[in-house]
Amino acid sequence: MAKKSTPSTTVPDTAWLGRGRHLGPEPEQDVRRNLIALKAAGVLDDFLDLDPVEAARSTVLHPREESADPGPSARRLFEARWRVADGITVRAQLTTYDPEHHRRKDSEGVTWILAAEAEAAWAPEWPSPATVFWPDTESVAWDHDTVPGVRLRAANHLPKDDDELRHRLRECARQSWYVHVVVHEAMTPDALGQRPVSTFLPPSLRHRVVEHRGTPEQAQIVDFAAKRELNVRVPRGGAVVLPAEPQAPGYEAADFTVRTVFLDGSVPTELLDRIKEFAALPQRMTAEAEQALARLRLGWHLLTPDEELVHAQHMVVRYAEALDAMTTSRDLYREAAEAAHAALAEVSDGATPGPPALSPAKPDSPLNALTKAFTRLRPPHK
């Protein structure tokens, strides 16, 4: 079973992790179509579409590892392999779950968890694993966070109610896997200003950021809620990158606060730099994220021909070791049986009684004689 995550457990720099909800009618069909299209275009080396139960049974690397089992509420398991800069291979798994997986009464749609890992440290400029599995189109609603009312690829306006606003910030800090940014609008922006700041980020970072917007009249309430719940301040007309709980080492609220953000369609360079710096910090890894990464590493099925050969050789060695162990056990058992037969034969030839006792002498019982015979057979060091 995978170890429980602790605050010191951080996401490896080779990994990309994501979790969300798909609110459409056919999430698995959306994934299949996207994978088929990308493989036909030569973007992917290959992909697999697996039933979770059969996938758990046929895990090729460590078939008995519990961490390779996606769980009883898993609906479908997808694997994909592609190459990025300098021929670096990326392997990724996406698993879809029934809403009950998170035991949320207000849960909607189908929950998905995505784990990807590269052969080198992850670069933000690489393609987003999210759009390898999900189509990068607004018409497919795959990009909802598990926190209700929050969506990637959108500027999410904060609730008007004070309690709801604080609850939203608290849930995002404690439950979400994403980087959260709060931006206050100094004035109501036009169409260009309503564009999320995440669209200016590199591809692999774009789908790791959730943007929250406070309207001009929410300046005080947003600042108060952020201060009370997360101990950060939201400047009027500015922005702040929210800390996660537990807080990542190296986070200082002042270092991730931007005094002014112009929402006029121009590139918010300072805010983007703060987001990139925050994403580069060691990020906490929850127990669920740790399990997803373990499943990717231990329960991988999409092998290359070279990997299949190595796996076959590994299995031959394991079978040979098992056969050798069985043979050794058989020989030891035979030797023990022969020793027992010899001891019985010695007893049957007649054993002398033990030394006289104070009580009337009685002949040794067969059990005592057999025990003494076995004692004589024990090695000296025993």
Domain limits, the chain: 15-302, 306-354+362-377
Helix (H) or strand (E) holding 95: strand 89-97
The per-residue pLDDT of the chain, averaged, comes to: 85
Q: Tell me what pLDDT residue 340 has.
A: 86
Measured over the CA atoms of residue 51, residue 53, residue 54 and residue 57, the dihedral's sign is positive
- Does pLDDT of 250 surpass 90? no
pLDDT in tens, 315-372: 677 767 777 778 888 888 888 888 888 888 877 765 544 444 444 444 555 556 555 5
**Coil, helix or strand at residue 363:** coil
If pLDDT is split at 50, 70 and 90, which confidence band does 2 have?
A: very low
Q: How far is CA 31 from CA 21, 24, 35, 289, in A?
A: 13, 12, 6, 21
Please name the residues in contact with 246: beta carbons below 8 A apart, sequence gap of 6 or more: 7, 284
Q: CA–CA separation, 202 vs 377, rounded Å?
A: 75
| Average pLDDT estimate for 148-165 | 96
Q: CA–CA separation, 57 vs 68, rounded Å?
A: 10
Q: CA–CA separation, 221 vs 169, rounded Å?
A: 12
Q: CA–CA separation, 373 vs 346, rounded Å?
A: 8
List residues bridging with 10 in a β-sheet.
284
% residues pLDDT > 90 (the chain): 64
| Average pLDDT estimate for 161-171 | 96
φ and ψ at 326, to 5 degrees? Answer: -65, -40
- Does pLDDT of 100 surpass 70? no
Q: Tell me what pLDDT residue 358 has.
A: 44
Please name the residues in contact with 69: beta carbons below 8 A apart, sequence gap of 6 or more: 56, 295, 299
Among 48-57, 125-134, 141-150, 230-239, the range scoring the smallest mean pLDDT is: 48-57
- Does pLDDT of 377 surpass 90? no
pLDDT in tens, 206-248: 999 999 999 999 999 999 999 999 999 999 999 999 999 888 8
If pLDDT is split at 50, 70 and 90, which confidence band does 5 have?
A: very low
Q: Tell me what pLDDT residue 8 has.
A: 54
Q: Tell me what pLDDT residue 379 has.
A: 52
Q: Tell me what pLDDT residue 161 has.
A: 96
Instruction: Give the relative orientation of helices 219-230 and 162-175 as an angle to the nearest 10 degrees.
Output: 40
Predicted TM-score of the model (pTM): 0.78
Among 71-80, 163-172, 291-300, 302-311, the range scoring the smallest mean pLDDT is: 302-311
Q: Tell me what pLDDT residue 23 has.
A: 94
pLDDT in tens, 13-65: 999 999 999 999 999 999 999 999 999 999 999 999 999 887 777 655 444 44
Cα dihedral value 58, 64, 69, 72, nearest 10: 100
Q: Tell me what pLDDT residue 3 has.
A: 42
Q: CA–CA separation, 257 vs 105, rounded Å?
A: 35
115 and 293 Cβ atoms separated by less than 8 Å: yes
pLDDT in tens, 256-290: 999 999 999 999 999 999 999 999 999 889 999 99
Please name the residues in contact with 80: beta carbons below 8 A apart, sequence gap of 6 or more: 35, 38, 44, 46, 47, 48, 91, 92, 94, 132, 133, 302
Cβ burial 125-141 (10 Å sphere, 16+ → b, else e): ebebbbbbbbebeeebb
35 and 27 Cβ atoms separated by less than 8 Å: no
- Does pLDDT of 187 surpass 50? yes
Q: Tell me what pLDDT residue 314 has.
A: 61
Q: Tell me what pLDDT residue 350 has.
A: 54
